[in-house]
Amino acid sequence: CRVEYLNYAVLDDHGWDLDDADLMETAADGGLDREDYGQFWVRPRESLLEAAERHGFAWPFACRGGACANCAIIVLKGDMRTRVDHVLPQEMLDEGFQLSCNGMPVTDELQVVYNVKSMPELEDLLL
């Protein structure tokens, strides 16, 4: 699966909105560092976090076991399956939140915003 990723931390700096349908196109043209925007491949049976780390990126995490939400991402396009999730309520899953620590892509392409743990929705879930 090919993953296109964007760091949530840069949205504010650029005045970008998560709800903007063209967010990824805008980011692609935004001259961002590879750490903040880019693409990588996820291998079969590899979690998104493991793939990010294999490519040299330091995405946030803590427990790696589906219990803390520090690794949360938002899926903008495509779909993932998360094996263990003890923390995200259904309404957040419905909004596209997933856990990168044990979430694996189930579509050939995925667009995600990572590092969303500073979003107010996640404040009470972080351990």
Binding-site ranges for ligand FES (CB under 6 A): 61-64, 66-71, 87, 99, 101
CB of 83 to ligand FES, least distance (A): 11
* CB-nearer residue toward ligand FES: 28 or 67: 67
What phi, psi does 98 have (nearest 5°)? -150, 170
Say if residue 6 is exposed, middle or buried (CB neighbours under 10 Å; 0-12, 13-18, 19+): buried
Nearest of 68, 100, 59, 60 to residue 86 by alpha carbon = 68
Q: Smallest distance from the beta carbon of 28 to ligand FES, in angstroms? A: 27
Which residue, 25 or 123, is less far from ligand FES as judged by CB?
Answer: 123
**CA 60 from centre of chain:** 10
CB of 100 to ligand FES, least distance (A): 7
